[in-house]
Amino acid sequence: MSDTPKILAFAGSARDGSFNKKLVKIAASGAEAAGAKVTYLDFRELPLPLYDEDLEAKSGIPDNAMQLKALMKSHQGFLISCPEYNSSITPLLKNAIDWASRSEPGEPPLALTCFRGKAAAIMSVSPGGFGGMRGLVHVRDILGNIGVLVLPGEKSISNAYEAFDESDRLKNEKQQAAVEDLGKQLAEVLAKLS
């Protein structure tokens, strides 16, 4: 592992103008300021079919899922911002995790090479008053169960429609600093673990 932590940043939303895409980019700027190399991934650029074991058995792991797995394996940490859908994780993020968890040819079953030994920081922003925090409980639980060290701190921002300025910064400077700090904390943990 190089001395420079490599972090993959993505949101569990593909929507144009997604609040969570804006939020994860703020955390990414904090990680970069702390010396990490950050790669931003927009899942719209890597569309995946709904996970289907019959599809996998017939056609193998789709090319885009293999690209996702390669990206994840080449980074030591993840910055993840996920909206809350019906008090839980988004289907987009869950589907990406499900495809990435599949073993490639030559790997033992449940190898989870994209996840084991990685660290992550999670966050959310939502138009509602809870800021997406109910969904983050499930994100944390899933990631922890597949071998990801999820940092204890997280950030949920409510009232998303009023939260950002025209430059996609959070209007509340304390919130802006807290989200940047999530990225910084992840970069520092990864540097210590290397």
pLDDT per residue, tens digit, the chain (194 aa), is 458 999 999 999 999 999 999 999 999 999 999 999 999 999 999 999 999 999 999 999 999 999 999 999 999 999 999 999 999 999 999 999 999 999 998 899 889 999 999 999 999 999 989 899 999 999 999 999 999 999 999 999 999 999 999 999 999 999 999 999 999 999 999 999 98
DSSP-based helix, strand, coil % in the chain, nearest 5:
45, 20, 40
Give the domain ranges of the chain: 6-193
Instruction: Give the predicted TM-score (pTM) of the model.
Output: 0.96
Handedness of CA 157, 78, 185, 6 (dihedral sign): negative
pLDDT of residue 1: 43
Range 6-193 has CATH code 3.40.50.360 = yes
Query: CB pairs under 8 A, 24+ apart, for 178-181?
Result: 179/23, 179/26, 179/27, 179/30, 179/123, 179/155, 180/26, 180/27, 180/29, 180/30, 180/33, 181/30, 181/153
